[in-house]
A = this chain, B = another copy of it.
Amino acid sequence: MRVMICGVDGYLGWPLSIYLAKRGHEVGGIDNYMRRAWVGEMGSQSAIPIAKMAERLLAYRENVGRNLRFYKGDLADYNFVLNAYKSFRPEAIVYLGEMPSAPYSMIDVHHAVFTQTNNLIGTLVTLYAMREAVPECQLVKLGTMGEYGTPNVDIPEGFFEIEYRGRKDRMMFPRKAGSWYHQSKVHDTNNVEMACRLWGLCSTDIMQGVVYGTRIDEMGEDTDLKTRFDFDQCFGTAINRFCAQAVIGLPLTPYGKGQQRRGFLPLCDSMQCLTLAIENPPRPGEYRTFNQFEEVYNITELARKIQSVGNKFGLDVEILPLENPRIEQEEHYYNPDHQHLFDLGYKPTHDMERELEIMFRDLIPHRERIESRKEAQFPDIRWDGTRRRSKYL
């Protein structure tokens, strides 16, 4: 299949381009390197050095044996996106082209507005360009499990049947996001569902859990094929940050009570799941939702796992809870469904420890790169709008 990856320069987009090509798909990609700029703005850098796109593309051809058709430009630019879709004629578009950080969106009004407009415009532009150029194409849209928040009931996959005052309907499960970023994904969900309903487009909306990991097997050892690994307060996710902290001897920092429960999955499983969605498209006009994660842990459990793996590498790892810069429920019910991907054949890795060992092996050689940007991992962006570094509890 011809698969266009929007945001191909990112943490997920780059490995996905390799994974799909090795399965025989023809891959195109769009990016304008915003992620590199945002991480720079946070005073940080990828722990693992990543090549420039020109080098990436050369290494891609050498290792994968085919070209990645790359389009450099802004996903908010309708004419550019339309022309890219007309030229590449994708059968699936994987939309990973959004600003992905909750804290970044909470910095101030300008970052809130940027996050929501950037994400919303990009998605609208892609919906219109699909309708114009490739109306049969599937949109695989990356959302987040965070759209649901932490309700006191089970979380179905997108929709639920309700009975209300004696009448029945199938409705979208109510969302309750906790940051402007997460809200931007809710806005996208609503927009994409409507485009499918009105225009007969089809889409899989992926409510993804937190992804962790430094590599997938398909990347091999060429340093120009590595994907980025962020550890700053905005673009580093919990596990990634904890691993980076362990490597440079900083305490692992669960926020607050550390009982926040989330769904997690390793990078290789994210690739597997996205590919299952791509290769098993919905019907024309269908909008479907996949909850994409492997297992649910609380943040303190995760810290303990990382501590234990770090110890194997001879690292002295402390866990020290940090004042929570976010406003969120620190203890809550959490029981989301995730059956749809299993129905399509998802085989979870089920070996977090092995994955963590790989991460430590990949990160330890770059200890100095992390050390040199370690200030960036201390959270000071607070959900109440102030900017003040969180204290250890």
Q: Which residues of A contact B (CB under 8 A)?
A: 78, 108-110, 112-113, 116-117, 120-121, 124-125, 128-129, 131, 151-154, 160, 162, 164-165, 167-169, 171-178, 180, 183, 186-187, 190-191, 194, 198-199, 327, 333, 383-385
19 contacts between A and B (CB under 8 A): A78-B109, A108-B128, A109-B124, A109-B129, A116-B124, A116-B191, A117-B117, A151-B171, A152-B169, A153-B162, A153-B167, A153-B169, A162-B162, A167-B333, A172-B174, A177-B194, A180-B194, A187-B190, A198-B383
Asked if A199 contacts B164 (CB within 8 A), the reply is: no
CB neighbours of A333 from chain B (8 A)? 167
Question: Bound complex: CA of A222 vs CA of B161, how far in Å?
Answer: 55
Q: A109-B124, A198-B327, A199-B384 are in contact. Are A168 and B183 (CB under 8 A)?
A: no
Question: Bound complex: CA of A178 vs CA of B190, how far in Å?
Answer: 10
The 9 closest A-B pairs by CB, nearest first: A109-B128, A152-B169, A171-B174, A153-B164, A153-B167, A187-B187, A172-B174, A198-B327, A153-B169
CB neighbours of A128 from chain B (8 A)? 108-109, 112, 385
CB neighbours of A165 from chain B (8 A)? 153-154
CB neighbours of A125 from chain B (8 A)? 109, 113
Query: Closest residue to A152 on the B side, CB-wise?
Result: B169
Q: How many copies does the complex hold?
A: 2
Asked if A121 contacts B117 (CB within 8 A), the reply is: yes
CB neighbours of A113 from chain B (8 A)? 121, 124-125
Beyond A151-B169, A173-B174, A177-B190, 11 additional contacts (C-beta under 8 Å) are A108-B128, A109-B124, A109-B125, A112-B124, A117-B117, A160-B164, A172-B175, A177-B194, A180-B194, A186-B187, A199-B385
A365 CB to closest chain B CB, in angstroms? 40
Query: Closest residue to A191 on the B side, CB-wise?
Result: B183
Question: Bound complex: CA of A110 vs CA of B78, how far in Å?
Answer: 9
Asked if A194 contacts B178 (CB within 8 A), the reply is: yes
Q: A124-B109, A384-B199, A385-B131 are in contact. Are A175 and B154 (CB under 8 A)?
A: no
Question: Bound complex: CA of A76 vs CA of B265, how far in Å?
Answer: 39
A134 CB to closest chain B CB, in angstroms? 14
Query: Closest residue to A155 on the B side, CB-wise?
Result: B164
A80 CB to closest chain B CB, in angstroms? 12
Question: Bound complex: CA of A116 vs CA of B187, how far in Å?
Answer: 10
Q: A117-B120, A120-B116, A131-B385 are in contact. Are A178 and B153 (CB under 8 A)?
A: no
CB neighbours of A327 from chain B (8 A)? 198
CB neighbours of A174 from chain B (8 A)? 171-174
CB neighbours of A152 from chain B (8 A)? 167-169
